[in-house]
Amino acid sequence: MNEHGDEYPICAVCDRTILRGERPAEYVTTHGERALVCPLCKDSAEAAGWIPAARAGQDAEPPQPRRSSRFRLRERFRRAGTQAGERLARARRERAEADRDRKVELPRVVVEESQRTPERAARLALEFFNATDQPRKVAGLTRSLGEPQVCVHPLAPPKLAEIAVAWELSWYRWEVLPSGEVKQIARGDEVSELPEHLREWNASAGEKGVLRLNAAS
């Protein structure tokens, strides 16, 4: 079991946690930095001009007194790679800004304790969760590991609910507060590590990682 708080490698392209059993590749970016890339993002990394670390040393050439046509071609390729990397970085910044804006626009719904029911707490917790960037993580893992099992468990005040999303090889737990704050509090490998109350699967994940209560819940 991986205790929560451990450090896990992150893909430098999609920011997804690289799971145990996956084989990330090491690349050298256009700025000369080394970065780990998950199997799903290799094409994007190479399109941005990143070079596999195993080839980086072989591609290096000693300075030459005159710029040959090969040198000029390599320079154009590197410039194109730099531009592609800048576009990728800009897209990631815009996506992060959009996520922040979405969080700011999230209505802070106050649930009166006299009106609070487990179902209302669960539905509100999922609304808060879906308004963060966590569904993007769920969607990325779903593409690698398949459809997950999902549980949303209402909690007593001052908390709102706890959410668990589990695959055969990995699981995540989040805590949701009435203020709308969503915090990842644990992760692990075996579904059996989850407490019993978080293995009562009552929700599901859509294609984009958005969580919804099941109809019978």
pLDDT for the residue 153: 96
Do 86 and 165 have their domain in common?
Answer: no
Do 128 and 193 have their domain in common?
Answer: yes
- Ranking 21-30, 56-65, 150-159, 163-172 by mean pLDDT, the lowest is 56-65
What percent of the chain lies above the pLDDT cut of 90? 43
Structural tokens at position 76: 């154009």
Residue 97 located in a structural domain: yes
| Overall domain count for the chain | 2
Task: Please give the order of strands across the beta sheet that includes 149-154.
Answer: 182-188, 171-176, 161-166, 149-154, 203-205, 211-213
pLDDT for the residue 114: 47
Do 139 and 172 have their domain in common?
Answer: yes
What is the pLDDT of the chain when averaged over all its residues?
80
Do 46 and 77 have their domain in common?
Answer: yes
Do 99 and 174 have their domain in common?
Answer: no
Residue 2 located in a structural domain: no
Residue 158 located in a structural domain: yes
Average pLDDT over residues 160-176: 96
Do 131 and 209 have their domain in common?
Answer: yes
Per-residue DSSP letter, 18: P
Identify the band that residue 6 occupies on the pLDDT scale cut at 50, 70 and 90. very low
pTM: 0.52
- Ranking 98-107, 111-120, 148-157, 195-204 by mean pLDDT, the lowest is 98-107
Average pLDDT over residues 11-38: 86
Do 160 and 188 have their domain in common?
Answer: yes
Average pLDDT over residues 198-215: 94
Structural tokens at position 75: 């320079």
Q: Which long-range contacts (CB under 8 A, 24 or more apart) does 171-177 make?
A: 172/137, 173/4, 173/198, 174/129, 174/134, 176/125, 176/128, 176/129
Nearest to 124 by CA among 154, 169, 92, 164: 154
Identify the band that residue 124 occupies on the pLDDT scale cut at 50, 70 and 90. very high
Do 99 and 124 have their domain in common?
Answer: no
- Considering 47, 74, 103, which residue would you say is the last residue of a domain? 103
Instruction: Provide the residue range defining the domain that includes 122.
Output: 118-213
Cα 44 from Cα 37, distance rounded (Å):
9
Determine phi and psi for 158, rounding to 5 degrees.
Answer: -90, 15
Average pLDDT over residues 79-103: 68
Do 99 and 125 have their domain in common?
Answer: no
Do 78 and 157 have their domain in common?
Answer: no
Residue 109 located in a structural domain: no
Do 81 and 144 have their domain in common?
Answer: no
